Amino acid sequence: MQTRLKQVIYVSEKTDAPSNILTDIYDISQKNNSESGISGCLLIGSSSYLQLLEGPESAVENLYSKIKVDSRHKKVKKVFEQHIEEKLFSTWSMKFATFNNVEWGNKDFDAGNFQNINSANAMKVFQTIKEIINR
Ligand code: FAD
């Protein structure tokens, strides 16, 4: 039976963790995600993270359950999930993007505070990142 692919987007709040946490998260993401067939993008905002995870359903759910209890961030909230036929970021184990480097018109994101983002806007953010990268 073919493995179903799933996409999950969550938002979380940054904590006062040391600045090197992103290097640690980047390193473990590259290793784990490529092993489990996960790809995606982590958007680093001023006060929050917005991450899209995609890959085999069980791998995505397993990773999300680990991320949810990771003390390096808090208030982890799923904003969107769907089954997909194709990945959006198939070539990236995990793309890290800072909010300031992303050019988009929607100013509702309050300089990278995504806490109140809705599912449609969350998906739009990642589609915009993908378009920018493909230019
Ligand atoms: P482990 O051996 O359990 O841990 C790997 C390393 O991370 C170790 O060096 C350990 O010391 C350190 N670590 C683990 N948990 C913590 C913690 N709570 N506080 C401080 N250090 C810790 N993981 C991925 O695999 N892919 C992702 O895309 C991904 N994205 C993340 C995005 C965010 C915003 C955050 C906060 C975490 C993310 N993580 C991601 C990390 C994830 O939460 C788990 O820590 C990781 O998946 C555990 O991997 P492991 O079981 O293989 O390794």
Spacing, Cα 52 to ligand 1 middle (Å): 16
Distances (CA, A) of 22 to 2, 5, 32, 104: 34, 26, 15, 24
Full domain range(s) for residue 12: 5-133
pLDDT, tens digit, for every residue of 38-96? Answer: 999 999 988 899 999 999 999 999 999 999 999 999 999 999 999 999 999 999 999 99
Domain count, the chain: 1
* Atom of ligand 1 minimally distant from the CA of 49: 34
Alpha helices (runs of H) in the chain, residue ranges in sequence order = 21-36, 57-68, 119-134
- Helix 21-36 and helix 57-68: axis angle, to 10°? 160
17 in helix, strand or coil? coil
Q: Is the CB of 73 under 6 A from ligand 1?
A: yes
Q: Which of 25, 49, 58 is nearest to 122 (CA)?
A: 49
Q: Residue 12 pLDDT more than 90?
A: yes
What does the pLDDT read at residue 103? 56
Task: Label residue 12 exposed, middle or buried (CB < 10 Å: 0-12, 13-18, 19+).
Answer: buried
| Stronger pLDDT, 113 or 44, i.e. the higher one | 44
Pocket of ligand 1 contains residue 74 by CB under 6 Å: no
Give the Cα separation of 34 and 51 in Å (integer): 16
pLDDT in the model for residue 17: 78
Environment class of 16 (CB within 10 Å of its CB; exposed 0-12, middle 13-18, buried 19+): exposed
CATH of the domain at 11: 3.30.70.100
Confidence at residue 111, expressed as pLDDT on a 0 to 100 scale: 61
Ligand 1 pocket, 11 CB below 6 A?
no
Q: What is the pLDDT of residue 7?
A: 98
Of residues 114 and 15, more confidently modeled: 15
Encode pLDDT of 18-51 as tens digits.
Answer: 778 999 999 999 999 999 999 999 999 888 999 9
Q: Are strands 39-44 and 73-84 parallel, antiparallel or unpaired?
A: unpaired
16: DSSP letter? S
Confidence check: pLDDT of 102 > 70: no
